[in-house]
Amino acid sequence: MTTQYKIYPYRWVVLAVFMFVNITIQILWISYAPITGPAAAYYGVDDLKIGLLSMSFMIAFIPLSIPVSWVIDTYGFRLAVSIGAIMMGIFGILRGMAGTNYTLVLWSTFGIAASQPFLLNTWTKVPANWFALEERATAVGLVTLASLVGTALGMVLTPILMESAAISTIQLYYGGIAAISAVLFIVLSRETPPTPPCPPGGEVRALMLDGLKHSFTVKAFWFTLLVSFIGLGIFNGVTTWIESIIRPRGFTPTDAGTLGALMIVGGVIGAVVIPAFSDKQHKRQLYLYISFFGAIPGLIGLTFATTSTLLFASAFVLGFFLTSAMPVAMQYAAEVTHPTPEGTSNGLIQLFGQAAVVFVFIMEALKGADGSFTPALLLAVGLLILSGIFVSQMKDPQELKTNR
């Protein structure tokens, strides 16, 4: 009897064009953050309104996540991502064409933000359709890497480009790149390979509504949502307040930029290395322990370091471990909630992650009279320890053990 399933090399083409659209959405999201002051002057508004351009992505994500997950699980990732990519390209170009009109820029940004769930909520769906079980966490890790690369590019390139181009022109460049990524995805992506990448039955998923109900009956999935909420809350909080965190110790905005870059570089490496080991050894729980407890020394160093060497090393360690937890947790969620559709479990994790913006505000509220973020960062250390307790309840799925 001939085998009924096969792994196709073309899976890497599908993954590559999917990664490209994820890179571009992150560039569009973060591109105002490193130039908040100049952008406020350019549009004639205050810093808070520039901050709203980034916050709009979180605001739009919360109501759209579940409906978009339904689209993904009902019509497939190719149609869903194509819709998101087209929206991203159109509104990205419109934002660049808005000139100095802040109102048009804001509405265009909400249009871009509305496209984001179509991309983020398919992080596990693409690997599930094209990759073998033992490759899936690695594939999700590569998509996470693409997201981090996009964030890094947006932070690094925007200030450089501003030296020779107007802010609206830079946004037009980014919108053009987004449009190119959309075209490439539509032309090169395929929903499924000619034959499944796993044994018959392994790729079958429940209907979205049934899957949603089922996922909430799985105790381990609740713990996955909690650790995702904590991990993303800490990551977003630290990246948002990075310059304010180190300012009281005499560090400069340039140091903050270096620190942020090293944190992202560490995250890029961690998002590839840790999920690859998780796949190779068929273990999720162990590597979630490693991710959360490994991040603690980095966070402590970030809190107390008074030398640039220790500060930068701590940022790298924090990024390496904290970011690596995300792809492992996403793949774990897809496995323990089977047959819940990947788009549903993925969408719920992303939803909880976006809701973790509340921790960003808590950090600001806990700031000391001298501007110190020490109390908030120590709270974050405590939350990482709490995450370890939650991970103790997240046993490896039987499916993984039988494939060892």
25-53: pLDDT as tens digits: 999 988 887 777 788 889 998 867 887 88
Q: Is the C-alpha dihedral spanning 21, 79, 115, 217 positive or negative?
A: negative
Q: Which domains does the chain carry?
A: 9-192 (1.20.1250.20), 204-395 (1.20.1250.20)
**Under 8 Å between Cβ of 93 and 172:** yes
Could you read off the pLDDT of 197-254 as tens digits, one per residue? 766 555 444 445 566 677 777 888 899 889 988 998 898 788 777 767 887 888 766 6
**Under 8 Å between Cβ of 205 and 339:** yes
Residue 107 structure tokens? 């509405």
Find tokens 């046993």 and name the residue. Answer: 395
pLDDT at 401: 54
Q: What is the pTM of this model?
A: 0.74
User: Where do runs of H (alpha helix) occur along 241-356?
Assistant: 242-246, 253-281, 285-304, 308-336, 342-355
pLDDT of 312 strictly over 80: yes
For 188-213, give the DSSP string.
Answer: H--SS-SS-SSSTTTT----HHHHHH
pLDDT at 21: 97
Q: Is 398 exposed, middle or buried (0-12, 13-18, 19+ CB in 10 A)?
A: exposed
Q: Is 222 exposed, middle or buried (0-12, 13-18, 19+ CB in 10 A)?
A: middle
Q: Is 139 exposed, middle or buried (0-12, 13-18, 19+ CB in 10 A)?
A: buried
Could you read off the pLDDT of 360-381 as tens digits, one per residue? 778 878 877 777 889 999 999 9
Calculate Rg over the CA atoms of the chain. 21
Three-state helix/strand/coil letters over 84-138? HHHHHHHHHHHHHHCCCCHHHHHHHHHHHHHHHHHHHCCCCHHHHHHCCHHHHHH
Average pLDDT of the segment spanning 181-199: 86
Find tokens 């005499």 and name the residue. Answer: 250
Average pLDDT of the segment spanning 271-280: 86
Average pLDDT of the segment spanning 292-305: 94
What whole-number percentage of the chain has pLDDT above 70? 90
Which 8-state DSSP code applies to residue 227?
H
What average pLDDT is seen over the chain?
84
